[in-house]
Amino acid sequence: MVIDAAGFARAGQALDGRIGTAELTRLCQDLPEPQNGEIRWQVRGRFDAPSGRAWLDVEAEGPVRVICQRCLEAFSLTLRVSSTLGLVETQAQLDAMDALEAEGDGPETEYLVAEQRLDVLGLVEDELILALPYAPRHDVCPGDGDVPEPPRRPSPFAVLERFGKD
């Protein structure tokens, strides 16, 4: 599904849909199989006439299977995305915004070049990839209560405690 990003935003258009998680191959490339969830997504365009700025609002939600980095078991994690992306006309404008942001003077809003052929599902997939945690973990790993605590060895410095008492 391809849109003219600037025209879409100026017209205040919206698209939404559902897609199987497994169809988002870049998102799933390092995730465990099977990926049988469904992602609900929506992209809305906005245009602010006084400032001349155009925006895309991207929302998506759905489960993905990930590997817990604590216990190494697969589990289902719900990804939620709610992003506002400002549109600029040229790569030079985008580079200038990035430079301002790097100096700490720029806005916290993310920007992208308003392509005439923007792949909507690619944009949604990009935002979901950015939402993936670096090291996903269960809130409580299965079996945490079943693992016995290792026996405590006496401290080698416990002997020194007696010297102060004599």
What is the chain's percent helix, strand, coil content, to nearest 5? 30, 35, 40
pLDDT at 135: 93
Top-confidence residue, 75 or 150: 75
Helix residue ranges, H only, 18-157: 25-28, 91-102, 120-131
Q: How many domains does the chain have?
A: 1
pTM of the model as a whole = 0.79
Structure tokens at 35: 């990926």
Q: Is the pLDDT of residue 82 over 90?
A: yes
- Residue 148 CB neighbour total at 10 angstroms: 5
pLDDT band at 145; cut points 50, 70, 90: low
Average model confidence (pLDDT) for the chain? 88
Task: Give pLDDT tens digits for 94-125.
Answer: 888 777 777 766 567 788 888 899 999 999 99
Percent of the chain surpassing pLDDT 70: 90
C-alpha span between 88 and 98 (Å, rounded): 12
Task: Give pLDDT tens digits for 37-75.
Answer: 999 999 999 999 898 889 999 999 999 999 999 999 999
| Structural domain for 70, as ranges | 2-163
pLDDT band at 149; cut points 50, 70, 90: low
pLDDT at 96: 83
Top-confidence residue, 77 or 148: 77
Top-confidence residue, 10 or 108: 10
